[in-house]
Chain A
Amino acid sequence: GIQVEQSPPDLILQEGANSTLRCNFSDSVNNLQWFHQNPWGQLINLFYIPSGTKQNGRLSATTVATERYSLLYISSSQTTDSGVYFCAVLFSGGYNKLIFGAGTRLAVHP
């Protein structure tokens, strides 16, 4: 089956720093989503990005489908950015199955 690998597994930043999170996937996929899981467990949709680049405030994402990776950029990090960031690729076989990576755990310190 499709494998999804995220790096780094853990990241510690000082407030104001920038970071790049990476997601590699092993096969062609129909789509990719980035999520932020806050400390209470809520999964928040960040981007739905099959290819190209999208930006939303301090966050942006780029997916290069032909090379099977996606990047999530966080600029000027804030303590509220802390949590776990997941990428999930979409496998369509009659329904939309999301296959998740193991996540990148981010801690932003003041």
Chain B
Amino acid sequence: SQTIHQWPATLVQPVGSPLSLECTVEGTSNPNLYWYRQAAGRGLQLLFYSVGIGQISSEVPQNLSASRPQDRQFILSSKKLLLSDSGFYLCAWSAVGTDTQYFGPGTRLTVL
């Protein structure tokens, strides 16, 4: 069966520091991968998606970037965090040719 992992689970970072969040998927090949952000008390907003290694598309302009160095690894990064980057970040995957997305446990980021 497929599983999706995210780490760290929680993170507290100062403004201006770098960020690296990691997401890995097991039990499937060539998945579509997604990064979403959830602000407090809100729904989820798609940030990035990837259909393959090195292929990244951005949904909204922002202080963040994403990379996919391996088939089942998706990384969310920032060079300098802003207060507005605080939130709950969720990674998701879907199998090629299917619609259903499955979400990881999330990373709760607080920027102080």
| Residues in chain A within 8 A of chain B (CB atoms) | 4, 30-31, 33, 35, 40-43, 45, 48, 86, 88, 90, 92, 95-103
Contacts and interface: CB of A to CB of B under 8 A. Distances in A.
A5 to B, nearest CB: 11
Interface stretch (B14-22, B41-49, B69-77, B78-86): B41-49
Contacts of A4: 43
B106 to A, nearest CB: 5
Contacts of A92: 99
A41 B44 contact: no
Nearest to A95: B49
Interface string B72-112: 00000000000000001010101000011111011010000
A45 B102 contact: yes
B100 A45 contact: yes
Interface of B: 32, 34, 36, 42-46, 49, 51, 57, 59, 88, 90, 92, 94, 99-103, 105-106, 108
B100 A95 contact: no
A79 B99 CA distance: 31
6 smallest beta-carbon distances between A and B, as pairs: A100-B43, A43-B103, A100-B44, A41-B106, A31-B99, A48-B100
30 contacts: A31-B99, A33-B100, A33-B101, A35-B103, A40-B105, A41-B106, A43-B44, A43-B90, A43-B106, A45-B102, A48-B99, A86-B43, A88-B43, A95-B32, A95-B49, A95-B51, A96-B32, A96-B101, A97-B46, A97-B49, A98-B46, A98-B92, A98-B101, A99-B46, A100-B44, A101-B43, A102-B42, A102-B43, A103-B42, A103-B43
A96 B3 CA distance: 19
A109 to B, nearest CB: 20
Contacts of A33: 100-101
